[in-house]
Amino acid sequence: MNRMTLPATPFDGQRPGTSGLRKKVQVFQQPGYLEQFVQALFDVVGDARGKTLVLGGDGRYYNRVAIQTILRMAAAHGYARVLVGQDGIVSTPAMSAIIRRRGASGGIVLSASHNPGGAQGDFGIKYNVANGGPAPEAFTEAVYARTRELRQIHTIDSADLPLHALGTYRLLDTTVDIIDPVADYAAVQRGLFDFDAIRALFARGFRLRLDTMWAVGGPYAKALLEDELGAPPGTVVHAEPREDFGGLHPDPNPVNASELIAFMQSADAVDMAAATDGDADRNMIVGRNFVVSPSDSLAVLAAHATRIPGYARGLAGVARSMPTSTAVDRVARALGITCFETPTGWKFFGNLLDAGKVTLCGEESYGTGSDHIREKDGLWAVLFWLNLIAVTGESVESLVRGLWRAHGRCVYSRHDYEGIATERAEALMRELRAALPGLPGTHLAGEPVAIADDFAYTDPTDGSVTQHQGVRIILQSGSRVVLRLSGTGTEGATLRVYLERHEPDPARHDLPVQQALAPLAALAEQVARIRHWTGMEAPSVMT
């Protein structure tokens, strides 16, 4: 077992996006591609003597191969200890929990989150820092800069380690521990929720179906819900992690989880359903014939948080990403706390959480979380809803309708235009930005435009500024259209168009969402010329 230094040639395009570096599996399989990025990452991390690294992923194709490569490089880099999830499995929220509980210096998550898996699918790598959260932009930019100049890769010549059994191994001076990936995560959840109340809920016959979409959330959900909380066997479906997610798209929304939605509209529907995504950090909550929007879910949790043991002290504040609906803003005003509006990307919540400025946070893309870790957490959200139902006696639908009665309904939808040629998507945004100065005061969708800008964020904790985070067109009534390019895809560009209209009249709360938002969709087409630039007559997906 010896150290080796190998020559390296830089690859183009290794700049991490909002959630790390994501590419097609075939890209990562190029000789030296993964090694180049990992070496750049380790070079930016610096001296690893005496430090602990956590390593694992969502079980998708190429996960195990990548883990063996990274283990050899971590040993060559001089880490004192590497903690690896059994079978290479560590969900993204569990990664954050393990880093924080074990005092690790950081962790590498191997996941492309909600992107498709399999040999023809996507793969990704992301670094989380010592607080358990995603690396900040300064770090990821430094990694990218290093990838462009790197000429050597450091590794060792050793056999693969067995990942299937718990145990301890040595790679040179590095101790490698294969650990239970669920234990630390479960301990954190026990400290937040009233598990006795949830057990009693299931004992009374409450029925849940949680679809973990053949992804990493399955082992966590079965261990907590079925083994510990008494949910009947079979409550968790599609529970075994598969390299290709069973051919499914592991994104928990009404389009990709259509089987679950159909089930909840049937005569056999259970009391509550939910779904988690590829790396278990996203969630969708569903009642009987009633789908909860992620924005409303965050607002409901905020409104009732003090009913939950871990949040009985009250909320320091809340935060949402800019495109997320303003439902939680209205709850925050009623509670007398601050609601922060951040760019998209969980890393922007990290400083607010570390500074104690917020307790709950969330994004419209089915991600919700709190200060218990520094990632969004899908199963945590399910447990939060179960705890609320247990202590209030209300259903999923009644909790959401209570929110609407108290604060009005924020009617909301996201339209995705996928696979656009990158240059055309960028041209659309350039033209739109150029038009912004002339929009305020004009009439669109039947009312004056109050604000038209390109969202910029100044972090209230460190003063850092993040610009060009999405175009906002806000009407006098508060209705909004937001347009931005997503950074989570691996082919072409995705234009996301977010539509929001506040409806205070309870008699209009049940209008079909797309009908209620049609004037705003027309406004988006008018100002951005979406059909012209994308060549598409309709969105690829509407959620």
pTM, entire model: 0.94
Residue 399, Cβ neighbours under 10 Å: how many? Answer: 22
Structure tokens at 385: 């809803």
What pLDDT is recorded for position 488? Answer: 56
Cα separation, 233 vs 222, in Å, equals: 8
Cβ proximity of 243 and 61 under 8 Å: yes
Cα separation, 350 vs 287, in Å, equals: 31
What pLDDT is recorded for position 489? Answer: 52
Q: Which CATH architecture has domain 185-407?
A: 3-Layer(aba) Sandwich (3.40)
What pLDDT is recorded for position 164? Answer: 94
Distances (CA, A) of 237 to 20, 266, 377, 534: 29, 17, 18, 37
Of 379, 95, 65, the residue nearest 243 (C-alpha): 65
Fold agreement (3-181, 185-407)? yes
Structure tokens at 318: 């809340």
Reduce the DSSP state of residue 141 to 3 states and report it: helix
| Residue 398 appears among annotated catalytic residues | no
How is the beta sheet containing 290-291 ordered, strand by strand?
236-237, 208-211, 272-276, 283-287, 290-291
Cα separation, 91 vs 403, in Å, equals: 31
Of 58, 81, 101, 85, the residue nearest 182 (C-alpha): 85
Q: Which of 105, 113, 297, 370 is catalytic?
A: 113
Cα separation, 243 vs 40, in Å, equals: 27
Pinpoint the alpha helices (H) of 55-108.
63-77, 92-102
405 in the Ramachandran plot: left (φ > 0), alpha (ψ -120 to 50) or beta? alpha
Reduce the DSSP state of residue 146 to 3 states and report it: helix
What is the pairing mode between strands 443-444 and 541-542? unpaired
Domain ranges of the chain: 3-181, 185-407, 409-542
Q: Does domain 3-181 bear CATH number 3.20.20.20?
A: no
Of 391, 374, 407, 202, the residue nearest 300 (C-alpha): 407
* Locus of tokens 């003090």: 306
Q: What is Dmax (Cα atoms) for the chain?
A: 73
DSSP string, 435-490: HGGG-TTSEETTEEEEEEEE--EE-TTT--EE----EEEEETTS-EEEEEE-SS-S
Of 352, 353, 371, the residue nearest 457 (C-alpha): 352
Cβ proximity of 344 and 322 under 8 Å: yes
What pLDDT is recorded for position 1? Answer: 81
What pLDDT is recorded for position 136? Answer: 87
Pick the CATH number of 409-542 from 2.130.10.10, 3.30.300.30, 3.30.950.10, 3.30.310.50: 3.30.310.50
Beta strands in 267-421 (DSSP E): 272-276, 283-287, 290-291, 317-321, 338-342, 360-363, 367-370, 409-420
Of 188, 190, 226, the residue nearest 91 (C-alpha): 188
Each residue's pLDDT tens digit in the chain (543 positions)? 899 999 999 999 999 876 799 999 999 999 999 999 999 999 999 999 999 999 999 999 999 999 999 999 999 999 999 999 999 999 999 999 999 999 999 999 999 988 999 999 999 999 999 999 999 888 999 999 999 999 999 999 999 999 999 999 999 999 999 999 999 999 999 999 999 999 999 999 999 999 999 999 999 999 999 999 999 999 999 999 999 999 988 989 998 899 999 999 999 999 999 999 999 999 999 999 999 999 999 999 999 999 999 999 999 999 999 999 999 999 999 999 999 999 998 889 999 999 999 999 999 999 999 999 999 999 999 999 999 999 999 999 999 999 999 999 999 999 999 999 999 999 999 999 999 999 999 999 999 999 999 999 999 999 989 999 999 999 999 999 999 998 655 568 999 999 999 999 999 999 999 999 999 999 999 999 999 999 999 999 898
Cβ proximity of 182 and 220 under 8 Å: yes
Cβ proximity of 443 and 519 under 8 Å: no
What pLDDT is recorded for position 114? Answer: 86
* Locus of tokens 């205070």: 504
